[in-house]
A and B are shown apart, each in its own frame.
Chain A
């Protein structure tokens, strides 16, 4: 872990007006929902979008702008750079999610309806694993395209997969349905913690799927970065 790289990444993400605006948008409405309904589960959907938001362009923007050249002149390895970008995106999204959850919990306490400790634990753990998975996939996409093209790639893949699922349902093509579900599962890598506190064992398949998606995504990002040539002459 390189604290300098992570700190600079966090500063950059949290000083971007566009990102701050979208962060407010993603967190404000669910928080309002919690205030009115008292349902903490409404915050369950913010981790994925926030991870995408903070990981968007994590590598691609450095490559497009050319700042990566100056960075890699320093004693920083390319794999180290990728892993620290991932950690940075995870910390950024996780920080916002935890702050949002904290605000929601405070509101619930003020309403004299304190949240269930188990539900709260599941929400936090769900958020952590969702953010780790989404950020890894975004890092992989960011290593493939410049700028914030990873967001377009992510959205396009999700959209195409969804359209194909509709087609597969209509045509009763179970194999296509399965493929598309797998693609969506990879793009939105997350791990369910619903088993927590139920006395049931966690699904080993789910854990392995989630962990292997993260590993594969980061490995691809590292391989792509190791092969990438950094010069306008090479372009």
Chain B
């Protein structure tokens, strides 16, 4: 049974004088148990609304959501749910430890293991004793994020919803976050991440759904953008003499790529697609150039996101469509979205 099933979900908000803003215009999505899915899209695309409907905060106009075969507000589902909100609105008057204790009790977890569970989670997210005993109101943004993540992880949830989980987190925290997600995913938890940190989404998610104007397109991160032109930064070993630009241009031309110049310590090459990248790297190695690293100037998701968003009508900075007076679907997605990869078999939009 799929972990999460969303069928033809429509959600609109009243906007006065009978007009309504359509936030979700018929969203369908299936997520398998153990899958980590990223939700990306421009501001106002409907990502938060989708998460709100999945968590039972918002009531859809029509459509169906089933979590593990149950309604979203089923208490059994809630007992297995963890949520990290984007706005870190924790009870500021409590200490970090008291907040975890409180949510541990609310979650109905056994009182005998409360102290040890909370202590373990505080350690897991990297909050020391002094920080744990401090009032939440005195926490920095990064500490709040860690504490919020800890409360979301209480009871090893089977359904974890993370809204901008690494916003304001330092690099050490991001490493901790990745490790925790990896462990949770391995344990079979279904994870939904709503984030603008595309590189991180690409790194931790099995699949990404791109939300635009209340509709979604699913894509496989490993294939996303494989047919896209991009610029590669090729880092060469400093132990070898640097080749002249003419020679690099010639090697690139032989691999159907273009040498774009130096951006020390990297050489920049433009390639047409994945196979172009493969040919370029092979040509460089064949020419005896000591390549130590190749990185794209933009991540796959970043590229798709930028280009996908650029085709959206610029009006109101990607605000959902406004229709009046009755609810009607948002404008259809432009044809150019056909470049997105189809969802993998067994789950997708």
Contacts and interface: CB of A to CB of B under 8 A. Distances in A.
Interface residues of B, number: 31
Contact of B49 (A5, A15, A66, A231): A231
A4 B91 contact: no
Nearest to B148: A70
A72 B106 CA distance: 10
A97 to B, nearest CB: 24
A230 interface: yes
Interface stretch (A23-31, A73-81, A141-149): A73-81
B106 A69 contact: no
B89 A74 contact: no
A171 interface: no
Given A73-B83, A74-B78, A77-B75, A233 B151 contact: no
A8 B85 CA distance: 21
A67 B106 contact: no
B267 to A, nearest CB: 45
Nearest to B102: A8
Interface stretch (B54-62, B171-179, B238-246, B329-337): B54-62
A190 B55 CA distance: 39
B59 A229 contact: yes
A4 B105 contact: yes
B79 A75 contact: yes
A66 B13 contact: no
A5 B89 CA distance: 17
A75 to B, nearest CB: 4
A234 B103 contact: no
A70 B151 contact: yes
A4 B52 contact: no
B108 A75 contact: yes
B106 A234 contact: no
Interface string A202-230: 00000000000000000000000001011
Nearest to B52: A231
A11 B105 CA distance: 15
Interface string A1-20: 00011001001100110000
A232 interface: yes
A69 B91 contact: no
A12 B83 CA distance: 23
B58 A229 contact: yes
A198 interface: no
Contacts of A229: 52, 57-59
Main secondary structure of the interface of B (DSSP, over half): mixed
B54 to A, nearest CB: 11
Contacts of B108: 74-75
A4 B93 contact: no
A71 B85 CA distance: 12
Contacts of B106: 4-5, 71, 74-76
Contacts of A233: 13, 23, 48-49, 52, 58
Contact of B58 (A11, A67, A71, A230): A230
Given A4-B106, A230-B52, A72 B89 contact: no
B55 A73 contact: yes
B90 interface: yes
Contacts of A112: none
B87 interface: yes
A75 B52 contact: no
Nearest to A71: B106
Interface string A176-213: 00000000000000000000000000000000000000
Among A69, A71, A227, the one with the most B-chain Cβ atoms within 10 Å of its Cβ is A69
Nearest to B21: A233
A37 interface: no
Contacts of B58: 229-231, 233-234
Q: Which of A71, A75, A233 has the most CB of B within 10 A?
A: A233
B107 interface: yes
Interface in B14-43: 23
Nearest to A64: B89
B16 to A, nearest CB: 13
B221 interface: no
A230 B83 CA distance: 14
Given A69-B85, A233-B48, A233-B49, 18 more contacts: A4-B102, A12-B93, A15-B93, A67-B89, A70-B83, A70-B85, A74-B103, A75-B75, A75-B107, A75-B108, A227-B59, A229-B52, A230-B57, A231-B48, A232-B87, A233-B13, A233-B58, A234-B57
Interface of A: 4-5, 8, 11-12, 15-16, 65-67, 69-77, 227, 229-234
Interface of B: 13, 23, 48-49, 52, 55-59, 75-76, 78-79, 81-83, 85, 87, 89-91, 93-94, 102-103, 105-108, 151
